[in-house]
Amino acid sequence: MAIVSQRLFSFLCCLLFVIISQTSGQPSYVFHLCTNDKGNYTANSTYHANLNTLLSNLTSNTEIDYGFYNFSYGQNTDKVNAIGLCRGDLKSDACRSCLNYSRVFNLTQLCPNQKEAIVWFDKCMLRYSNRSIFGIMETYPPLNYLWNDVNATDVDQFNKVLFNLMRNLKGAAASGDSRRKYAADNATVSTFQTIYGIVQCTPDLSSQGCKDCLDGAITLIPECCNANRGVTVIGPSCNVRYQTYRFYDPTPILDPGTPAPAPLASPPPSPSSQGKSNTSRTAIVIAVPVVAIVVLVLCFIFIYLRARKPMKYFGSKSETLDEIITNESLQFNFDTIRVATDDFSDANKLGQGGFGAVYRGRLSNGQVIAVKRLSRDSGQGDTEFKNEVLLLAKLQHRNLVRLLGFCLEGRERLLIYEFVPNKSLDYFIFDPTKKAQLDWERRYKIIGGIARGLLYLHQDSQLRIIHRDLKASNILLDGEMNPKISDFGLARLFVVDQTGGNTSTIVGTYGYMAPEYAMHGQFSVKSDVFSFGVLVLEIVSGQKNSSIHHGESVEDLLSFAWRNWREGTATNIVDPSLNNSSRNEMMRCIHIGLLCVQENLANRPTMAAVTLMLNSYSQTLQVPSEPAFYMDSRTGSLPHVQSWEYNSRATISTESANESAQESVNEASITEPYPR
């Protein structure tokens, strides 16, 4: 009950400030994150008191006119470090107003006991931590992004102008001093279109640190949001934004003779106790009527939202609360969906799943949708329905299928999704003809997209989510073959510091299941990592995990991959329809796939580590050991295994082995009949 109340409070806080910011001209809330692996504090502890003191006095130094505040307060383990950064075009008063608003936003209530937290608004960022955060180029939390849904018409020309602009801005920002590392400018695409952009780093970074951070942010743009006319990338150490309209003001000029002070051991002195007392009384007098007004506003909004239709906002694919405020705002009328699908005609039927059929539909405004109609006689239908609505209403990411709404009338249970035109991954990857449409560049992009989607579920969303049924048929492909993880009916939702659980009934698809889950019902984020590893090997090989044929014998994919890896013939794993132009990437993906399917879950990497492996070729990978479910008929120890040499032909030499094949079952999802 306490957890539910805490989540509800956080939700209402976010909702309230989104509403206030959109109606009062205040900074627009973007995103916040509570970090759980940096330690917790207890209420009324010394750390708690130091945190409140620091945040209350962070902007009290009026001599700072460059929009960057970095202070510490306390000693030893109770020391708190905080950074406040304003967008470079803000004047001093507007900057302090934004940071004070961030404090009033009450990050300490949204993250009630975490020692490290961060919140972004469109014009400023506030973060604090119990560790040193000054002068460090932070890579966690990872970069997040928002974009609108309008694409450029001439993509090549738009991208050429955009990245030339970003390159120039990066150099200008990195050359800034210890007070400001910010640059803004515009560039013309055509007579009728101009791109306006800004880039910014926390000014305590070195010039090279700023460049490295901005490189990561700018590199993310074509991966996440290619050709979008408006994109924002945010991180703890830098941010990037561009639009096709002017969204910033002229940059205030700083006095060249006034250097920034070093980070202080404590913030400026707080007001006298008498002043605090008067302030407290004033705050109480103001707070009582404000709370009453807020309650009335929320009631009005609740009534309004029940009547309104779903709306689309800028940044609808980000983790903001703009898109989904309450489940009531997502509800569709059954007759609307019945008309859209032509009364659920067979001609519009896209497929049949474990919980019901999926139909294509078109709303009256022309929007194409996909409708999952849960089976009326499904014993678990209500549970799965509520599970998907609860989960997907909170999840917004480019690599997750997007929930548009739902319908709940009588015995009808409908889920309305964005329509993903290119069906699922298995439709292509396992078809001898259609797999030719997936060249290596597209396959590698699909692998990276799935990894980012899982990383979001495991780490970056407000709740930790374990999918439990990751497989090729649950990866949908959009018009540009970007992957979207779908089907959250079996997923488990956890508070952010939980990493796993147990169940007495096994759900999911054999062949993708981790051994500890299939045999003991123990599931965790590492269970999804195992499924991801199987999926990677399927994508590289173009083979199902249960059907590698050698004459009359059949070998499962993990056995096949491991046997060839240890014998130095890993190229045999690669789909023959692929050329060898990207051999290093293929071998690296096989290596990563084998690391993900290790029998001991402690030896499997996290999805954060996997994402880094996929994007950083300088990182040395561990040598994989025998994967789970690998069958070898011989007795005795396995031969010595070496890591694959990516830039030269492998020289692994071992004796050949007689393999025994065991075909795994991979035909249908096995679901729990009772609520989890």
DSSP 400: B
Phi, psi of 485 (to 5 degrees): -70, 135
HSE at residue 227, side-chain half, CA atoms within 13 A, is: 9
DSSP string over 282-318: HHHHHHHHHHHHHHHHHHHHHHHHHHSPP---TTTTS
How many of the other CB atoms lie within 10 Å of CB of 397?
Answer: 23
Angle at Cα 599 formed by Cα 597 and Cα 604, nearest 5°? 55
- In angstroms, the CA 653 to CA 637 distance is 16
Where is 357: in which H helix or E strand?
A: strand 356-362
How far apart, in whole angstroms, are the C-alpha atoms of residue 641 and residue 631?
Answer: 17
Count of residues making up the chain? 676
From 115, 109, 112, select the one nearest 82 (Cα to Cα).
Answer: 115
Question: Rounded to whole angstroms, how far apart are CA atoms 134 and 70?
Answer: 7
Give the three-class secondary structure for 147. strand
> How far apart (Å, rounded) are the C-alpha atoms in residues 54 and 99?
13
**How many CB atoms sit inside 10 A of residue 448's CB?**
18
Across the chain, which distance is largest between two alpha carbons, in Å? 89
User: In whole angstroms, what is the distance from residue 313 CA to residue 320 CA?
Assistant: 10
Report whether 444 contacts 471 (CB < 8 A).
no
474 in helix, strand or coil? helix
Measured distance CA(527)–CA(464) in Å, rounded = 13
Neighbours of 194 (CB within 10 A): 15
Q: Which residue reads 């906002």 in tokens?
A: 313
Rounded-to-integer distance, Cα 123 and Cα 107, Å: 16
Nearest to 121 by CA among 232, 59, 28, 197: 28
Taking the C-alpha atoms of residue 201 and residue 209, their distance in angstroms, rounded to an integer, is 9
Six-digit token string for 670: 């096995």
Chain center to CA of 343: 36
- Report the phi/psi class of residue 649: left, alpha or beta, with left for phi > 0 and alpha for psi in -120 to 50: beta
Query: Is residue 575 annotated as part of the catalytic site, yes or no?
Result: no
Q: How far apart are the first and last CA of the chain?
A: 17
Q: Which amino acid type is present at position 10? A: S
* Token pair in block for residue 79: 């020391």
DSSP state of 74: S
Q: Go through 595-621 and write b for each residue having 16 or more CB atoms within 10 A of its CB, e for each that does not.
A: bbbbbebeebbbbbbbbbbbeeeeeeb
Give the SS3 label for residue 30.
Answer: strand
3-state secondary structure of 373: strand
Catalytic residue (one of 89, 469, 487, 528): 469
CA of 507: how far to CAs of 141, 316, 373, 432, 512, in Å?
A: 32, 32, 21, 30, 11
Q: Which of 654, 606, 656, 595 is nearest to 628 (CA)?
A: 595
Name the residues annotated as catalytic: 469
